Amino acid sequence: MVDTKRPTISKKSSPDTKKIVLVVAALALVVLGAYLLNQRGYFGNGVQMQKSMDNVGNIENWPEFVLGVGETVTVKGITIEVVSIGAKSTSIKVEGVSKIIGEGETFDFGKIKVGVKELEYTDNMYTRKAHLYILA
């Protein structure tokens, strides 16, 4: 004889399920907290985004470089590479650290600061140019 009863799903969660949910929630809070602390520079890595070039001194006196996609320049032994150029921001890599920097913004990589003065965006990625201020 075949049992024709349908299996039922219990709506009660087991104590183990509740523990797992609490652990996942706690880990999410720890990760979020670490991310926020890192963004504010509390881990001492010296990497902070600045929203305006006005906050970094007289940036107009910094050396200016014009680079295309994939081009590099070395300033005081530190290599700066333009990874990509978009209409409003560019991806810059310094010593293995990549950051997207918007036009008119600067980024402090620790040993070097990079400011994006202007971006020349075209449909052909190989003719795009990034005008960068670099201070080591």
User: Tens of pLDDT along 16-67?
Assistant: 777 777 777 777 777 776 666 555 555 444 444 444 444 445 666 778 899 9
| Same structural domain, 52 and 102 | yes
Residue 9 forms part of a structural domain:
no
| Same structural domain, 33 and 56 | no
Task: Annotate 85-99 with b (16+ C-beta within 10 A) or e (fewer).
Answer: beeebbbbbbeeeeb
* Alpha carbon 6 to chain centroid, angstroms: 52
Please report, for the domain that includes residue 81, its CATH number. Answer: 2.60.98.40
| Same structural domain, 56 and 121 | yes
> pTM higher than 0.75, yes or no?
no
| Same structural domain, 54 and 120 | yes
> Which structural domain, as residue segments, surrounds residue 18?
14-45
Residue 55 forms part of a structural domain:
yes
Residue 5 forms part of a structural domain:
no
